[in-house]
Amino acid sequence: RAEAVRRILVGVFEQAAPDAHEGQPITALQLLEHGQRQVERAIAAEPAVEADVATLIAELYVQVGVFDRAETLLARALEATADPRVPDDVKARVLIGIATVEDERSAHEDAMAHARQGIELLARSGRVGAQTLAKAHYVVAHSLISLGRRDEAEQVLLASLQRDTAALGASSDAVADTNVQLGNLYAAEERFEESERAFRQAIATLTANHGEDSYHVAHALNELSNMFYDKNDFAAAEDALRQSLQIRLRMVGPDHRDTLIVRHNLLNLVEAEGRVAEALPERLEVVARHESSGKLHPRDLGAYFLGIGLDQFELGDFAAAEAS
């Protein structure tokens, strides 16, 4: 199975060779699209391989914000796991991949159920990959926090912190991600000193592991900003958000979903400081560019429209506010 996966992935990356594209550069998204085509035509005779590769490519689609293609691949992977030859650890990875997308889509009950199924299958398989297990517990904890079940979430996170530190080391990404989650949890409970300590520890680890221009660092800075906002320290919140935005702009550009979410958070902060006339044109520009592009999930687009309506209300344009 490992050899079959290797063969497919080598085939995908060979597409980046200059001869394959007449010397033109190839983007990460083009590579993923090629990988998706490879999965679709290659391996019906090897369902475990199909499920494994489809899940991997789906997870990468999630990271570049292309959720519809991720869901298509995960549905195909799940179908492949119905074959009795597919081992439990592969089924677990598929379920945890599905849970990750559901968590992003705010389907938190479904995400928890699939993540926990994946955890059970990993335990049953005897092939408990520490990284995969950490990912599953991350989804469970994030879903619990989102559902307001903080006591349960704290138990999951503290257990994850202990287990992942032992299995992967104190300087692992998994431990840093858990500290980000703990920072969010403590902020929600107004335990601000504990929250900031957890965030700072995570940012230091992630910066050491990946450098300053890292998706992980940008995410942690965004969450740290939310904590400062809850604490009414708007200057610190804006500083952290602007750092996060600059990293996102350098890494994925102005039109990526994650960049647009950070911009939305920054505009909320600008409004909280009373600078409504500054925020409204930016919101209108984002919506004009992305309302029909599919780049923004409907939930994100709804948040932008709500922000526009509140700005218009504050500026006295009541008819436009009601429409927004």
Give the C-alpha separation, 262 to 300, whole Å. 11
Give the C-alpha separation, 71 to 77, whole Å. 10
Confidence band (pLDDT; 50, 70, 90) for 152? very high
Give the C-alpha separation, 41 to 36, whole Å. 9
Q: What is the mean pLDDT of the chain?
A: 88
pLDDT recorded at residue 21: 60
pTM of this structure: 0.78
Cβ contacts of 243 within 8 Å, gap of 6 or more: 218, 221
Ranking 66-70, 119-123, 256-260 by mean pLDDT, the lowest is 256-260
Give the C-alpha separation, 322 to 324, whole Å. 6
Give the C-alpha separation, 87 to 15, whole Å. 30
Specify the residue for token string 């619990």: 144
Using an 8 Å Cβ cutoff, are 136 and 97 in contact? no
pLDDT recorded at residue 14: 77
Higher pLDDT, residue 142 or 2: 142
